[in-house]
Amino acid sequence: MTDASDDSLSTMDCCVLEEHGQARVVIKRSMVTFFESLDVRSRARLKSVMKLWCEGRKLTPEMFNPNEGRTQKHNVMLQAFKRNQIKLRLYGFCSTIGGKKTFVILDSDPSKKQNKADPLILKRAKMHVDHLVDTLKSEGNLNG
Amino acid sequence: MADANANERNSIFAEEAFVVEVQSLLHEIMEEKGISRADLARSMNVSRARITQLFSDECTNFTVRLLARAMYALEETPTLARISHSAEQLTDLEQSSVNSATKVEHVLPLWAETELIDMTDPSCPANDNIFAGLAHIRQPRASFRIAA
């Protein structure tokens, strides 16, 4: 886990999970402990998928869900990295932050009992996204 | 003991990295050619469940034979390459991918050999992740077909 290296990530209180070229996946610092508590294979799988995402490769529906619905306030598309074996989704959104294509992980659904997303957690994730977009916009760090 | 744990962890990271590379490559070819998973199952003469298993997280029973069969069904010929890595590069696979966040320009995939291969040679697959390179070096089998 690497601390944020630019101001925009500091504002967001995020750590970089994976980075390749002009793309990166960052995670909210409050979620780092949760991510590190996952079993090694899950972390390995998720980080490998994140690396592919950074490289702009095609991801299968088992790896990534590009459409988890839009947020109410800012109409941002919520997306998720998936680990089906342990029924885990890492929710976040993609934007250009600090000049880099950035996927920001803000929430997770670790106790998913079925393939359908938990509507309460989805709603919470979307609220987190809207809140963060507010912060980034007020700081002038969000493009696109 | 710590070394054994680190080695086991690195092995798991290497396994998962290769699995997602192969799954992504197959998915990419299928999208390119408009082939569904049901079509692939039919061409491979395996059950639809076997294809689901192939793309699953667990990815169990995904043998080299099955990969060859899948590539054949997709009218592609897989090409294998290898690039040696040094022990230092293997020290901590998980940490190295994290370090790339701060010095991404200088970090190579762990399976890349930095000393023996001329990284400036554009034809060298080690210029990037070897597995990512598979997408570019795979050859359409159709070009070797003999017209009926």
Residues of B in contact with A49 (CB under 8 A): 20
CA of A56 vs chain B CAs: smallest distance (Å): 11
Give me the interface pTM, i.e. the ipTM: 0.84
What's the predicted TM-score (pTM) here?
0.75
B residues 103..122 contacting A (CB < 8 A): 104
**pLDDT surpassing 70 at residue A43:** yes
pLDDT (tens digit per residue) in A94-109:
988 888 899 999 998 8
pLDDT (tens digit per residue) in B41-70:
999 999 999 999 999 998 888 899 999 999
Q: How far apart are CA A135 and CA A13, in angstroms?
A: 11
Model confidence band, residue A1 (pLDDT cutoffs 50, 70, 90)? low
A 10 A CB-CB count for A128 gives 19
User: Do A52 and B24 make contact, defined as CB atoms within 8 angstroms?
Assistant: yes
pLDDT (tens digit per residue) in B73-108:
999 998 888 888 766 565 556 665 554 433 333 333
**pLDDT surpassing 50 at residue B118:** no
